[in-house]
Amino acid sequence: MLRSIATVCLSGTLPDKLESAAAAGFGGVEIFEQDLLSFEGTPAEAGRMAADLGLAVTLFQPFRDFEAMPEPQRSRNLDRAERKFDTMQALGTQMILVCSNTQAATLDDPARAAADLREMAARAARRGLKLGFEALAWGRHTSRWRQAWDIVREADHPALGLILDSFHTLCMGDDLAGLAQAVPPEKLFFVQFADAPRLRMDPLSWSRHHRSFPGQGELEVPGFLREVLAAGYAGPISLEIFNDEFRAAPSRRIARDGLRSLVWLDEQAGLAPLPATPALSGIEFVEFAVDETARAELAAFLAALGFRLAGTHRSKAVQLWRNGGANLVLNAEPDSAAAERFAQLGPTVCALAFRVDDPARLMARAEALRCPTFRERVGEGERRIPAIRAPDGTLVYLVQATGPGDRPIWEDDFLLAPEATAPGALRGIDHVAQALAPGMLDSFVLFYRAVFGLAPDAPWELPDPYGLVRSRAFTGGVADGVEQVRLPLNVSESTRTGTGRFVSALAGAGVHHIAFATADAAAAVQAASQRAAPLLDIPANYYADLAARFGLGEAETAALQAHHLLFDQDAAGHGFRHAYTLPFQDRFFFELAERGVGYEGFGAANAATRMAAQQRGRAR
C-alpha cells in the first residue's frame, strides 16, 4: 500500500519537506494549503517537483468550515471550491479533504450538510476530482465517523466518500466497530494515521500539539489499521501529525521516523511480518570515546570503583575494564567512530552493546525499519560486531549471547589479562540512563519499541532544583522473571537541570549515567570508599525522613547513611539500595545499585535528593 505523509508533519519549506519525504522512502504526500501558499513557485511547479521525486500528491487540504453554512457563505464556499479545484489540477492530485465544520454559524442539519457536500462533489466530478469528508473530534455537529458516514451516505454521490483519521476516532474512546458492515470499500476514500499520548485535554489542543507517529504514543493504532483493512480499504496509509517538536526538528530525521512507524505498524497489524524482535539478555558493555589523557583519568576513576584492566585490543588502542560481570570499553583508537565522537564531544559514551539471541536476525529487522547500520574496520581474525545507530548517532552493538560453556566474545579481539575473570563486586549493568534533548524523546521511543520490542513504562516527572526532568524507561528481556535491560530516557525543557546542562554541553543526547548491579551495595560502597572513590554525599535530613517513611530502625538507617546509600521500597516491600559517584569531568556519573528481586523501579523517589546533591556539588 502506498505510504504517504502530510507536509504538516515536517519542518522547513515545501521543497525541504518533499525531499525529506522522498529520501525516507514515502511514495506520496498530503499537501497542506499553508505549505503551498508559502511556496515561491506555482502549484504546477510544486506538483512537478513532487512527481520528479517519485511522490504522488495523495490529497490536498485547503478547505474547512464548508458544510451546512447559511447563505451567503454557502455560495461563496462553492465558488471558492472551484478555485481550489484549479489548484488541485495544477498540483496533479485528485482528492480534496473537507473536515467537519467547527464554526458557530454552521447549521445543525445533516440533510443540509449532505446537500452541500453533494453539490461540491458534483462540481468536483465534472473535473474528474473526488471529495472526502472527515469528522474532526471537535466538529460542531459532526464529530464521529458514523455521523460523517451518515451524511456521505445520504448525499449519495460517487465522487464523495469518507475519510478516517485514527486520532479523531481513538481520542474519543471510539472505535471502528461496524465499519466493514456499514461502509462499502469504494466509499472509504482515504485514511490518516496518528498516535498520541493519553492526556486529559480538550481534543483540539491535544490534536494540534501532541500527535505522534504510530508506536510513539498510547492509542491502539494497529487495531485501527486492522479494522480499516478488514473493511476492504486499499488506499494510501497516510501520516498526519501535528506536533510542535516535529516541526522544530530536522525534517529528515522526522521523515525517517515516520516511515519506520509505518513499517512497524504493518507488522503490528499483521500486514507484513518483520524478522522477530530479539530476546535480550543484558548489556554486554558500554563503550567510551576517549583520548590517551582522558583514558588515564577515566581509568583511575573506574579503578576506584573496583574495575581492573582486563584486556587490551589486539590491533587497536582499546582497553577492556571489568569488575565482575560489568564490562566497560575505553576506545582511544585514532580514525575510528569513537575518535570522531571524542573530537566533537570529549569523553562520552559512544556505544552500547546489547546481548541478543540472534544478532543477524536483529540486523535484518533494524534494516527493514530503516536504521542506519555501521561496520567498523576490523583487523585480521577479529570479530566484526554488527551495529546499528540510535537516533542520536550512538552506536548500538548487537552481541551474540553466550551460554556458560561458550567461548566469550572478548577472546577473538582482546588479549585478556589473567585477572580478566577475577571475581568482582559487580554483577553487571543494571541500567543505562540517557539524557535527551526534548525533541528526541519520540525518536528514541520508536527506536526502542520498533527495533527491540521494548515497551515504555509510564512517564515520570523528576524534580531537579532547577526545573523538571521528564523520564520514560524502557525495560525488557525478561529472564527468570527479572528484566535484563533497563534504559531510562530523561528529557528536560530547562537548560539548568543536570539533564539539561548535560544535553547542551554535549550538543545533543547521550548516556548520562550507568548503574552497576551489585548483590551488596553497602560492601560495594565500602570497597569504593577505601579506594577513595568520589561518592555523592547525601544530607542527613534525607535519612531522618527515610526512617519515618519506611519505619526503618536506627541501626539500619545509620548503616545506609554511613554508606552514602539511598533507599526505596515498592508497595510489595521489595527494596532498592543505591549510591552515586560524583560526575566524571562534570559529564556522566555512575551508580551502584542493589535491586531486591521484584523491585522494578529506579529509585525515582530519591531522584530529587540525588539531583539536589549533585547541583550542590557543582556550586561548591
Ligand X SMILES: O=C(O)c1ccc(O)c(O)c1
User: Which residues in 392-431 contact ligand X (CB under 6 A)?
Assistant: none
> DSSP assignment of 36-77, as one string?
HHT-SS-HHHHHHHHHHTT-EEEEEEEE-S-TTPPTTHHHHH
Interacting stretch for Mg ion, rule CB under 5 A, among 154-162, 177-185, 187-195, 306-314?
A: 187-195
- Binding partner of residue 136 among ligand X, Mg ion, none, CB under 5 to 8 Å per kind? ligand X
Choose, by CB under 6 A, the member of 35, 65, 240, 464 that binds ligand X.
240
Which one of Mg ion, ligand X, none interacts with residue 445, CB within 5 to 8 A by kind?
A: none
C-beta of 132 vs 311, nearer to ligand X: 132
Q: Is 192 annotated as a binding residue?
A: yes
- Report the partner that residue 527 touches, choosing among ligand X, Mg ion, none (CB closer than 5 to 8 A by kind): none
Q: Which segment (170-178, 184-192, 439-447, 507-515) binds Mg ion by CB under 5 A?
A: 184-192
Shortest separation between residue 162's beta carbon and ligand X, angstroms:
12
134 is in an annotated binding site: yes
Q: Which three cell numbers stand for residue 38?
A: 508559502
Residue 484 assigned ligand-binding role: no
Nearer Cβ to ligand X (30/284): 30
Of 207, 212, 251, 277, the residue at the interface with ligand X (CB under 6 A) is 207
Q: Residue 593 pairs with which residues in a beta bridge?
A: 517, 578
Using the minimum distance from each CB to Mg ion, give the nearer residue, 65 or 430.
65
495, 504 Cβ separation under 8 angstroms: yes
Contact between 497 and 469 under an 8 Å Cβ cutoff? The reply is: yes
Q: Which long-range contacts (CB under 8 A, 24 or more apart) does 302-305 make?
A: 302/328, 303/531, 304/528, 304/531, 304/532, 304/533, 304/534, 305/516, 305/528, 305/531, 305/533, 305/581, 305/590, 305/592
CB of 239 to Mg ion, least distance (A): 10
Per-residue x/- marks for ligand X, 11-50, CB under 6 A? ----------------------------------------
Q: In angstroms, what is the minimal distance from the CB of 6 to ligand X?
A: 8
Q: Which does 208 bind (CB under 5 to 8 A by kind): ligand X, Mg ion, none?
A: ligand X
Q: Which stretch binds Mg ion (CB under 5 A): 109-117, 236-244, 310-318, 347-355?
A: 236-244
Binding to Mg ion by residue 30, rule CB under 5 A? no
Report whether 590 contacts 516 (CB < 8 A): yes
- Annotated binding residue at 591? yes
Per-residue contact string for residues 129-168; x = within reach of ligand X by CB under 6 A = -----x-x----------------------------x---
C-beta atoms surrounding 598 within 10 Å: 12
Site for ligand X in 89-128 (CB under 6 A): 97, 99
- Residue 207 binds: one of Mg ion, ligand X, none (C-beta under 5 to 8 A by kind): ligand X
3-state DSSP assignment of residue 132: strand
Task: Give the CA-trace dihedral at 251, 252, 253, 255, to 10 degrees.
Answer: 80
Q: Does 59 sit near ligand X (CB under 6 A)? A: no
Fill in the amino acid letter for 251: S
* The only residue of 165, 376, 413, 464 in contact with Mg ion, by rule CB under 5 A: 165
Q: Which three cell numbers stand for residue 246?
A: 516535529
Q: Would you call 391 exposed, middle or buried from its count of C-beta atoms within 10 A (0-12, 13-18, 19+)?
A: buried
Question: Quick one: 97 or 356, whose CB is closer to ligand X?
Answer: 97
What angle do the packed helices 540-550 and 554-562 form, to 10 degrees? 140
What does the alpha-carbon distance between residue 360 and residue 519 come to, in Å, rounded to a whole number?
Answer: 33
Q: What residues are paired with 237 via a beta bridge?
A: 3, 191
State the minimum distance, in angstroms, from the CB of residue 155 to Mg ion: 20
Q: Which does 227 bind (CB under 5 to 8 A by kind): ligand X, Mg ion, none?
A: none
Q: How far is CA 50 from the centre of its chain?
A: 28
Site map (CB under 6 A) of ligand X, residues 475-514, x = contact: ----------------------------------------
Query: Is residue 192 near Mg ion by the rule CB under 5 A?
Result: yes
In a 13 Å sphere around the CA of 101, the CA atoms on its Cβ side amount to: 24
How are strands ordered across the β-sheet holding 414-416? 373-374, 387-389, 395-400, 348-356, 280-289, 326-331, 318-323, 308-313, 414-416
- Asked whether residue 67 is marked as a ligand-binding residue, the answer is no
Between residues 192 and 569, which has the closer beta carbon with respect to Mg ion?
Answer: 192
Cell 458516514 belongs to: 149
165 a known binding residue?
yes
Binding residues (CB under 6 A) for ligand X: these are 61, 97, 99, 134, 136, 165, 192, 207-208, 240
Which residues contribute to the annotated binding site for Mg(2+)? Answer: 431, 513, 591
Binding residues (CB under 5 A) for Mg ion: these are 165, 192, 240
